[in-house]
Structure 1
Amino acid sequence: MNNPLTLAALFVKYLKNECSPGEIKQLLAYFNEKQNEETLRELIQAELGATDQNIRNQAKADAAVLKVRSTLVQQLKEKPAIKIIQFSKWRSLAAAGIFLIGSAAFIANHYWHGIEHYIHPVKIMELTTIKGQRRIITLSDGTKIWLSPSSTLEYPDQLTGNYREVKLEGEAFFEVAKDKKHPFVIHSGRMDTRVVGTSFMIRAYKEQLKPDVTVVTGIVKVSVMLSPMQQAEEIVLKPNHRGVFDQQKGLLTCEDYPGAGQMLKRKDGILTYDGAPVEEVAADFSRYYNLQIQIENKAKNCLCYGEFDMNKPINITLAQLAAAINASVIKQKDKYMIKGGCEE
C-alpha cells in the first residue's frame, strides 16, 4: 500500500462498489495512518470534483476524512453481509452543501468504537456506578476520571489511534492527560466534547434536558449535530465558561460561569448551588444517597443557594436544604418529602 497508484486504484474500486471485505479493511488500515490523511483528502476532492473554496476548507476536509473512516468502519461492523454506500449519493449531497458536515455528533454513533478496534485487539470496557456510588478511574494515557452516581463510562483498555475516545452517560469530571497529537473526545448523547489536555465537568444524564460542560482549566470544544441535514454547531469554551445544550430548542450556547472551580469540589461529592431549581437539587441528592426525594408543589418553584456535602448523612444535608428554602423535611418509610418552602 506504499504505492499511491495502488491506493488510487483501490479507492476507485471502492467507489464502484467492487471492494471485497478484505480490501475494505486494507483501505481502512491505510487511512488510519495520520500521515496518509492528506492523500485521502486529495482523493475525495478529486472524486467530488471539488473546485470551490468551501470543500478546500481545512476543517471541512478533516470532516470528510472522518466521514470516510466511519463509513468503512460501519461496513466492517455489518459483516458478513458487507453493505457498500454509494458515493454517487455523496456527490449529490456535496452539491447540496451537506456532505462535509463536520465530525461532531455525526461520527459518535458510527466512529466511536474506532478504527483500531478492527486492526488491533482493543477491548471496550464499561464502568457503571449505581445510585449512591462514585468511582475514580485512570485510563492508559494517564487521564483521570471521577464518575458520579448513576453514570456509565465506556472506554478502550488501550487508547490507540489518532483520537482518544470515550463515551459518557451521566456525570463525570475529567483531568485529561496532555497529548496534542491525539485529541481526547467524549461522546455524550448528541454532544461531543473535544480537548487536548484540560480539566472540566460534563453533566449529561439521559433525562437531563440541558446537558452541559463546565471548564476549569484549558480550552474545550463542544459540538452538537442538530440533524443529519445541518452542519454541526460548535463552541469554544475557556476557563470559567459553561456550554449548555438545550435539547428542546436545539440551541448550543456558551455562558460565563465564574464558579467553575466548584467542579473540583463536586467531583469529591461536595455540591454547590447558586440559584438552582430545588427539583434539580433533589435529583442530585437522590442519585448520591440512593433514596427517593419528593418535592411538594409549593416548594417546586424555589431556588436553592448553598454548599452541600454528600459525604455526610442524608438527614444533615436534607435539613440544610430545608433551611435554605424555608421548608420542612418529612420521612415517609423509604422516601423523604420536602414540604412547604419559599412560597409561604
Structure 2
Amino acid sequence: MKDRTYIETLFRKHLDFQCTSAEIKELFKLISKQENEELFNDLIADELTKDMPEPMLPKSEDRAIDKVKSVLLSEIRAQIPDTKPVKSPYKIPNTWLKIAAVWLFIGSATIFMLFRHFTNRNENQIIPQIQQLATQKGQRKLIQLFDGTKIWLSPSGSLRYADQLINNYREVWLDGEAFFEVAKDKTHPFIIHSGRMQTQVVGTSFNIKSFSKQNIYNVTVVTGIVKVSMLSPQKEKLSEVILKPKQQAIYNNTQGTLTDKTVATIEPVIKKRNGILSYDGTPVPDVIADFEHYYNQSIELENKSATCLCYGEFDTTKPIEIVLRQLAEAIGATIKQTDKGYFIKGGCSDR
C-alpha cells in the first residue's frame, strides 16, 4: 500500500482542486483498491464529522461513507483524461448536485457538512466572474468576449458580462446601446438581458438600444435570426417576436408591449457601429440627444427647432462644431456657443 501520508495528501489536494491530471488518475487507482478501503473510509468520515457537535450513529456513518465514496469515485473518474463518462438516463452536471442527491437519499443531516464543503469548493470553481464595461458620454468601446463575440458599446452605456458560460448559456446585461456580432454556437445560445426585454441568438449581428431611463427599446437585425421576448416582473415570458434581417422589435416599457416591423434599410445600423449617425425624418430633439451622448456636450434647442425633422448623415469622429453646423444648415437654424455648451436657434418653422 502506498504511504498513508501520501494518500491523505493526495486526497486533500483533490478536495482543494489542486490535483494534476496524473494525480487524479493516481487517486482513482488508490481509492479503488481494497487494501485502501479503511483509510479512505477514515478520511471521508473525518470530513463528515469534523464540525458536528455530536458523533454520528455507526449505521448512519457507514451509509453516509458508502454513498460519499461512490460519488467521489464517479467524480474522479470523470476528471481522468481520455475517460468517457458512463452514460446515464439522469443528467447530473455538477458534483454539488450529486452530493445534494446523496444527501436527500440518506435523508439525514449527518452528511450536511461534506455537502457544504463540496458546494463551496465547486461554486468557487464554476461560478463565472461578472465583469463590467462602461462608457462615458463621448466615449465608445469595442470588446471581444471569450467566445469571439464582438460588441461595440456606444456612449453612456453599461455592459455586464461573464468570462465563461453560465449554465450552458452565454449571457450579458446591457443598459444603453450596442452593436453585436455574436459568434455562432448552436449549443450555447447567447442572451442579452435589458430590463424586461430579453434577446436570444445563436450567431448573428444586430443592434440593441435599451437605455433604462428611456421607455422605448429596440432591436434591429442585420444578419441571422433573433428572438426577442418580453418578460413579466417575475421573469415569466409574456410574448415574443422572431426577427430576420431588416426587421426591428420595439419594446414599450411604459405600455408593456412588444411589436415588430420591417425597416427600409439596415445601413444606418451598420454605420452607427463606427460612430456615423444617419437620420431619415427623425425629430431634431432625438438627434440632439444622440449628439449629447456622443460628444459629452450640452446642446440647448430653441422651441422652434424642436418641431423640425432631420434628414442626413453625421460623422461623430469629426469635431462637434462640424456636425452642428451641418445640422443647422439642414434645418435652417443658427448655432451659438455659450458658457454651458451650444444653443440652436430657429429652424424649419422660420422658413
The TM-score bracket by the shorter chain reads: 0.5 to 0.7
Does residue 186 (structure 1) correspond to residue 192 (structure 2)? The answer is yes
Alpha-carbon distance in 1 for matches of 2:169, 2:308: 43
Please identify, of 211-220 and 120-129, the stretch whose mean Cα deviation from structure 2 is larger. 120-129
Question: Does the 8 A contact of 1:140 with 1:159 survive in 2?
Answer: no
Count of residues paired in the alignment: 256
Question: Does the 8 A contact of 1:318 with 1:329 survive in 2?
Answer: yes
Query: Paired residue for 1:296?
Result: 302
Alpha-carbon distance in 2 for matches of 1:126, 1:306: 34
Q: CA deviation at 1:230?
A: 6.7
SS of 1:140's equivalent?
coil
In structure 2, relative to structure 1, the CA distance for the partners of 1:165 and 1:298 (3 Å cut) is: same
Alpha-carbon distance in 1 for matches of 2:211, 2:161: 17
Alpha-carbon distance in 2 for matches of 1:239, 1:192: 18
Query: Paired residue for 1:319?
Result: 325
Query: Paired residue for 1:273?
Result: 279
In structure 2, relative to structure 1, the CA distance for the partners of 1:24 and 1:333 (3 Å cut) is: same
SS of 1:268's equivalent?
coil
Report the TM-score when normalising by structure 2. 0.66
Query: Paired residue for 2:148?
Result: 142
Query: Paired residue for 1:253?
Result: 259
Q: Which residue, 196, 206, 212 being the options, matches 2:218? A: 212
Alpha-carbon distance in 2 for matches of 1:11, 1:301: 69
Deviations 1:171-196 (CA, angstroms, capped at 9, x unpaired): 11000000000000011121111000
Q: Which residue, 121, 129, 134 being the options, matches 1:128? A: 134
Root-mean-square deviation over aligned CA pairs:
3.1
Query: Paired residue for 1:244?
Result: 250
Higher RCO structure, 1 or 2 (CA under 8 Å, sep 6+): 1
In structure 2, relative to structure 1, the CA distance for the partners of 1:168 and 1:21 (3 Å cut) is: farther
Q: Give the residue type in structure 1 aligned to 2:276.
A: I
Mind listing any 5+ residue stretches in structure 1 that lack a counterpart?
30-75, 77-115
Deviations 1:244-270 (CA, angstroms, capped at 9, x unpaired): 111122111101112223211101000
Alpha-carbon distance in 1 for matches of 2:309, 2:113: 58
Alpha-carbon distance in 2 for matches of 1:337, 1:22: 68
Query: Paired residue for 1:63?
Result: none
Alpha-carbon distance in 2 for matches of 1:222, 1:117: 31
SS of 2:137's equivalent?
coil
Q: Give the residue type in structure 2 aligned to 1:340.
A: G
Q: Give the residue type in structure 2 aligned to 1:300.
A: A
Alpha-carbon distance in 2 for matches of 1:343, 1:118: 63
Question: Does the 8 A contact of 2:229 with 2:237 survive in 1?
Answer: no
Q: Give the residue type in structure 2 aligned to 1:125.
A: Q
Report the TM-score when normalising by structure 1. 0.67
Computing the radius of gyration from Cα coordinates, the structure with the larger value is 2
**Percent identity for Structure 1 against Structure 2:** 48
